[in-house]
């Protein structure tokens, strides 16, 4: 049995992992400290927002405690050891002899990999996981694995019919980190080459469910254009599952899933869009 603890599960990876464990026949529970601002699901939220303020939810604490007492494996998704200790104290699970695992995500690991690797070793982490683009940051002191975060969402369409317009979308949580300015320039180049052929939708500041609904109308999804990232985010995997062709800078990935087309610059993006508009195969 696996207890997955996370502060806010920003990209919904913890919930996806818990569902993967369950689909393989295991038992897992994803417990989040804070309510996710975009409405991602969790099994328990310890501090949901009530009347505008995070408020302890005693039934969730009880459910998480009782499940945790029956677990041997603890999987932590978060940046700070102090946050993990706070959650374990609050759930009455701090003294359990856990088999500890950790998942590293996003920019904090890219910027602090040496520090985080040392924390893993000192805190007794048995196995460490990160996205395929971050495998290059592992050391050899903890057993480490790369993984794909395939979302547990229904396929919302097989493919919107390609008609006279090609629908393109992009959903950045951080415009600088996703290279949104460069993406705008690349898309603009394609639009200028064939006015009226493309429709571009930047999806942001929406709930997760609304984002999925809007993206389901896209033929092409642009994940990111940032060499520092060099991988596919959760939104990219969601888009693949929704039937989109995904464009991304994947310079730090040894292999990419089917349906992903590598791009490295604005020119690449423009050329791929023009090519796809003429022949999506």
111 confidence band (pLDDT: 50, 70, 90) = confident
Residues contacting 40, CB < 8 A, separation 6+ = 9, 12, 15, 208
245-248 and 2-6 strand pairing: unpaired
Mean pLDDT (the chain, rounded): 90
Nearest CA among 271, 272, 246, 243 for reference residue 257: 246
Average pLDDT over residues 103-122: 89
Nearest CA among 44, 36, 86 for reference residue 61: 44
pLDDT digits (tens, 9 = 90+) for 189-199: 999 998 888 99
158 confidence band (pLDDT: 50, 70, 90) = very low
For position 110, what pLDDT does the model report? 87
* Cα Rg of the chain, angstroms: 20
Of 39-48, 113-122, 145-154, which gets the smallest average pLDDT? Answer: 145-154
Residue 227 has pLDDT above 50, yes or no: yes
Which residue, chain included where needed, has tokens 């109308």?
217
Task: Please give the backbone phi and psi of residue 218, each rounded to the nearest 5 degrees, phi first.
Answer: -95, 145
Which residue, chain included where needed, has tokens 């927002």?
49
């Amino acid at each position: 049995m696996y207890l997955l603890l996370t502060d806010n599960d920003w990209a919904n990876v913890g919930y996806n992992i818990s569902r993967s464990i369950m689909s393989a026949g295991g038992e897992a529970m994803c417990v989040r400290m804070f309510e996710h601002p975009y409405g991602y699901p969790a099994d328990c939220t310890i501090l949901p927002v009530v009347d505008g303020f995070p408020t302890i939810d005693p039934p969730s604490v009880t459910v998480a405690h009782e499940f945790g007492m029956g677990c041997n494996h603890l999987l932590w998704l978060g940046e700070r050891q102090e946050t993990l200790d706070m959650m374990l104290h609050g759930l009455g699970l701090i003294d359990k002899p856990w088999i500890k695992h950790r998942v590293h995500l996003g920019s904090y690991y890219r910027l602090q990999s040496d520090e985080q690797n040392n924390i893993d070793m000192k805190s007794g982490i048995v196995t460490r996981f990160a996205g395929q683009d971050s495998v290059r940051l592992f050391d050899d002191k903890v057993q480490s694995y790369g993984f794909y975060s395939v979302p547990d969402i229904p396929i919302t369409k097989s493919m919107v019919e390609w008609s006279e317009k090609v629908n393109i979308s992009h959903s950045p949580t951080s415009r600088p980190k996703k290279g949104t300015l460069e993406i705008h320039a690349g898309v603009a180049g394609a639009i200028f080459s064939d006015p009226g052929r493309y429709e571009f939708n930047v999806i942001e500041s929406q709930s997760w469910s609304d984002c999925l609904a809007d993206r389901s109308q896209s033929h092409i999804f642009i994940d990111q254009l940032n060499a520092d990232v060099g991988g596919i985010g959760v939104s990219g995997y969601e888009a693949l599952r929704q039937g989109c062709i995904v464009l991304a800078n994947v310079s730090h990935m040894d292999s990419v899933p089917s349906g992903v087309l590598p791009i490295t610059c604005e020119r690449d993006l423009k050329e791929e869009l023009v090519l796809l508009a003429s022949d999506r195969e």
